[in-house]
Chains A and B, each alone.
Chain A
């Protein structure tokens, strides 16, 4: 990670941070270096050993998956599981993409559509609502906010069966909409947008914009949304991960293979692995490829991700 995307690491001071959103740099130059020598070699070694052991715990399964994806079916059982044999990764990927007319690519595309588009729509809806709750006074404002807060505590899995009952009444189960539409609601996004809009969008700026003759909606989409941007990236990320990981909803809603998101598709293959052993390689390679989009998103948007976690827990 470069210093360019972490400008506040050197300049952060709690006083200028609205509500403690943002953070102190890890490498707080004075503090860390000044205290360093006072810690005994014994406790420093102990701490590093603990961290090193758990680094293995967290990374070895992913390493194993990477290595296993490069092997053909025979080598999977006969060679060292943690080291490469004949490097067959690209042959395996090619075979995976060809399998059953490229259904795997279709699943990846579905997942990107459910999670990517769903999270964008969810973020816009949540930003507008949270902004209104923060910047306007109207009767019922607190009631709406409290109902939404209650919604934060309702996990996605708890709603899957009720949603299935609802969609089956209007005969929309086993459609794209059955998985997509429920994903565009993010109560946590409203909460975070409200907190952040209160802290980062000054009333004076809105007044100035009104005096200039800009309408309320226009002010929001041109001025306020920029000020709220870090929070909105966080909302997007949370929702993206929530949708990407949601399992119960597709499990209960979908029957047609061409609508599956990639996690559910891999689950379906994995369930039949005992009848069709050739699927094993596809499941492994497919799993590896399916976690890459998420890892890339995390790395690119790390800074925002952590900002959001901090402001969420400080409340």
Chain B
């Protein structure tokens, strides 16, 4: 790394006055400008085209309203300001879908991360043998795409196909009362292993010496886990929590697939399903406004969580 002012030569030339200024001038000139352009431009162009431009298009579309000349006249899109957003805030289906995923997240995210943390700690402790096997077995569901996982569990929940008939014949897991938690189980099943691996990798990066003192003091595994390991993996936990919160708000594949198993899953069950259903009407302007509101809500929620996590970290 070249950090001009901290290197001895930099200090010496600066002290020499005149010679120093030409040197800094030369330093400021970017070296290999064409190489830099060649390296950065392809990604930058694709990123602009498929990240930034679509966001701009969505915001613009959300400002448009459809106007017709008479009942059967040609429809034209005209600028309507924030009219669509007024409709978003009056839309009960959308807000109840937001409430539903929030409820889902408040229960499912802590359960999933709690299990992931427990398994990571067990894998990192000397209590468990056959670590490689368990690591693979727990991670395997992550190889199953959300749609396929939902199809599998959908069949497992169905009373006439399930190997758990004793349970499924008594409790209808696909009824309106239970289906949200049936979906939560699918998401948990897929992602526990993935989160476990993130936390476990962080635990593996901690040098053994850190535990030396505690072990000499006679602390048991539970004590070491609670007082040393969990505080050290806090950043990984915060990361997985933020990713899970974002994922929860974006829930789509699993509930959309469950529609063929359960009539309790409506076409506006989650915010993204509402967006899809609205765009299929087609009412793309309202769908775009939903998207913008959902994206903002996601950002606000993840930042609020990060701030909350940081403040708690300072207090502890």
Contact = CB atoms under 8 A, between A and B. Distances in A.
A58 B138 contact: yes
Interface string A252-280: 10000000000110110011111000000
A14 B145 contact: no
A58 B291 contact: no
B33 interface: yes
Nearest to B162: A81
Interface stretch (B10-18, B151-159, B307-315): B151-159
Nearest to B237: A313
Chain B residues touching A, majority SS: helix
A298 interface: yes
B308 to A, nearest CB: 17
B125 A47 contact: yes
Chain B, interface residues (CB within 8 Å), range: 35 or more
A118 B250 CA distance: 23
B23 interface: no
A77 B47 contact: no
B83 interface: no
Contacts of B54: 159, 162-163, 165-166
A28 B57 contact: no
B247 interface: yes
Contacts of A24: 204-208
Contact of B51 (A151, A241, A284): A151
A213 interface: no
Interface string A26-40: 111001100110010
Contact of B31 (A23, A136, A247): A136
Nearest to B188: A57
Contact of A161 (B38, B51, B58, B222): B58
Given A287-B152, A291-B148, A26 B198 contact: no
B163 A64 contact: yes
Chain A residues touching B, majority SS: helix
A217 to B, nearest CB: 6
A23 B204 contact: yes
Interface in A221-267: 241, 244-245, 247-248, 251-252, 263-264, 266-267
B265 to A, nearest CB: 12
B235 interface: yes
Interface in B37-81: 38-40, 42-44, 46-47, 49-51, 53-55, 57-58, 61
Given A290-B148, A313-B202, A158 B189 contact: no
Interface string B258-301: 01100000000000100110010000100110010011001100
A161 B287 contact: yes
Nearest to A34: B126
A47 B127 contact: yes
Contact of B288 (A139, A148, A155, A165): A165
A77 B160 CA distance: 7
A184 B51 CA distance: 11
A248 B147 contact: no
B35 A136 contact: yes
Given A24-B208, A138-B33, A284-B155, A298 B50 contact: no
A315 to B, nearest CB: 8
A24 B205 CA distance: 6
A267 B256 contact: yes
A97 B271 CA distance: 36
A136 B31 CA distance: 8
Contacts of A26: 123, 131-132, 204
A155 B137 CA distance: 27
B152 A64 contact: yes
Given A132-B39, A158-B250, A267-B257, A314 B205 contact: yes
A161 B293 CA distance: 13
A31 B295 contact: no
14 contacts: A31-B126, A32-B126, A51-B122, A55-B138, A58-B137, A68-B155, A136-B36, A137-B2, A158-B250, A161-B58, A161-B275, A163-B50, A248-B253, A295-B143
Interface of B: 1-2, 30-33, 35-36, 38-40, 42-44, 46-47, 49-51, 53-55, 57-58, 61, 115, 118-119, 122-123, 125-129, 131-132, 134, 136-149, 151-156, 160-163, 189, 192-193, 197-199, 201-202, 204-208, 215, 220-222, 235-236, 239-240, 246-247, 250, 252-253, 256-257, 259-260, 272, 275-276, 279, 284, 287-288, 291, 294-295, 298-299, 302
Listed from nearest, the 4 A-B pairs whose CB atoms lie closest are: A216-B35, A310-B201, A162-B54, A132-B39
Given A251-B256, A272-B260, 19 more contacts: A14-B207, A47-B125, A54-B138, A61-B141, A62-B144, A64-B156, A136-B35, A161-B279, A163-B50, A165-B57, A220-B39, A244-B145, A245-B145, A247-B252, A263-B145, A270-B151, A290-B148, A313-B239, A314-B235
